[in-house]
């Protein structure tokens, strides 16, 4: 279903609307502006959302599996417990967004840009995230198992309780990042940049006595 047909006319933007249990499967939302809209348990499976712009919108328990979100832009939006399995987020941009408890299994995150915001308890398993600028992003409890963050900028990130099994941090910059209650022993750290306080924390995690 083409969303402009659903709402009527040659719609260019949708403001302050609320949708619950709506099914927009295989629709076309390209180039649409959404402002202050709320979506709860809505399905966007396979929907074309390329170059979609959202401002202050909230998506709760929505299904974006297989959706096309390439070059979409999201500002101060919330995505809570949403599914992005096998979705295409190539060059999508998230500015100061809350993306909490979401899953990105098999999703294309190439060139995806995250600027600040809260990405806690998200699944980023086995994603290739090399060379990204994630400064100041909250990743509390985020699952980075098998992910690659080589040469990424993680300064001042919150990585408390993150899952880092076989995560690759070679030459990443972690200065100022918080790693409280995070098991560091099974990640790859060669060439990573740390501050002095972090170096002591790393030493303690590996059983080294610092005096």
User: CA–CA separation, 170 vs 162, rounded Å?
Assistant: 17
For residues 68 and 101, state if they share a domain: yes
DSSP 101: S
Calculate the average pLDDT of the chain: 92
- pLDDT tens column, 70-105: 999 999 999 999 999 999 999 999 999 999 999 999
Do residues 37 and 19 make contact, with C-beta atoms less than 8 angstroms apart?
yes
For residues 166 and 200, state if they share a domain: yes
The reported pLDDT for the residue numbered 36 is 96
User: CA–CA separation, 113 vs 71, rounded Å?
Assistant: 10
Range of the domain at 16: 1-116
User: CA–CA separation, 127 vs 145, rounded Å?
Assistant: 9
For residues 124 and 107, state if they share a domain: no
φ and ψ at residue 126, rounded to 5 degrees: 60, 20
pLDDT classification of 8: cutoffs 50, 70, 90 = very low
Count how many domains the chain has: 2
For residues 97 and 42, state if they share a domain: yes
For residues 123 and 180, state if they share a domain: yes
For residues 68 and 52, state if they share a domain: yes
For residues 67 and 137, state if they share a domain: no
Last residue of a domain, one of 65, 99, 116: 116
For residues 151 and 89, state if they share a domain: no
29 Cβ contact list (under 8 Å, min separation 6): 3, 44, 47, 48, 49, 52
The model carries a pTM of 0.92
For residues 1 and 87, state if they share a domain: yes
pLDDT classification of 1: cutoffs 50, 70, 90 = very low
- pLDDT tens column, 182-208: 999 999 999 999 999 898 888 888 888
Last residue of a domain, one of 116, 149, 184: 116
H-helix or E-strand spanning residue 74: strand 73-75
CATH code (residue 159): 2.160.20.80
User: CA–CA separation, 55 vs 191, rounded Å?
Assistant: 39
Output the CA angle 28-33-38, nearest 5 degrees: 90
């Amino acid at each position: 279903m083409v969303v402009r047909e659903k709402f009527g006319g040659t719609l260019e933007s949708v403001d302050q609307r609320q949708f619950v249990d709506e099914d927009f499967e295989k629709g076309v939302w390209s180039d649409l502006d959404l402002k202050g809209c709320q979506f709860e348990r809505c399905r966007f499976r396979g929907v074309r959302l390329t170059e979609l712009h959202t401002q202050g919108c909230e998506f709760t328990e929505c299904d974006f599996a297989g959706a096309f979100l390439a070059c979409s832009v999201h500002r101060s939006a919330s995505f809570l417990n949403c599914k992005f399995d096998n979705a295409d987020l190539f060059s999508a941009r998230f500015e100061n967004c809350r993306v909490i408890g979401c899953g990105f299994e098999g999703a294309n995150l190439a060139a995806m840009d995250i600027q600040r915001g809260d990405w806690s308890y998200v699944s980023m398993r086995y994603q290739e995230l090399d060379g990204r600028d994630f400064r100041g992003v909250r990743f509390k409890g985020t699952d980075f198992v098998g992910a690659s963050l080589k040469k990424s900028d993680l300064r001042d990130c919150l990585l408390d309780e993150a899952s880092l099994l076989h995560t690759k941090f070679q030459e990443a910059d972690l200065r100022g990042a918080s790693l409280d209650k995070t098991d560091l022993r099974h990640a790859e750290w060669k060439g990573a940049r740390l501050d002095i306080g972090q170096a002591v924390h790393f030493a303690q995690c590996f059983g080294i006595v610092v005096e």
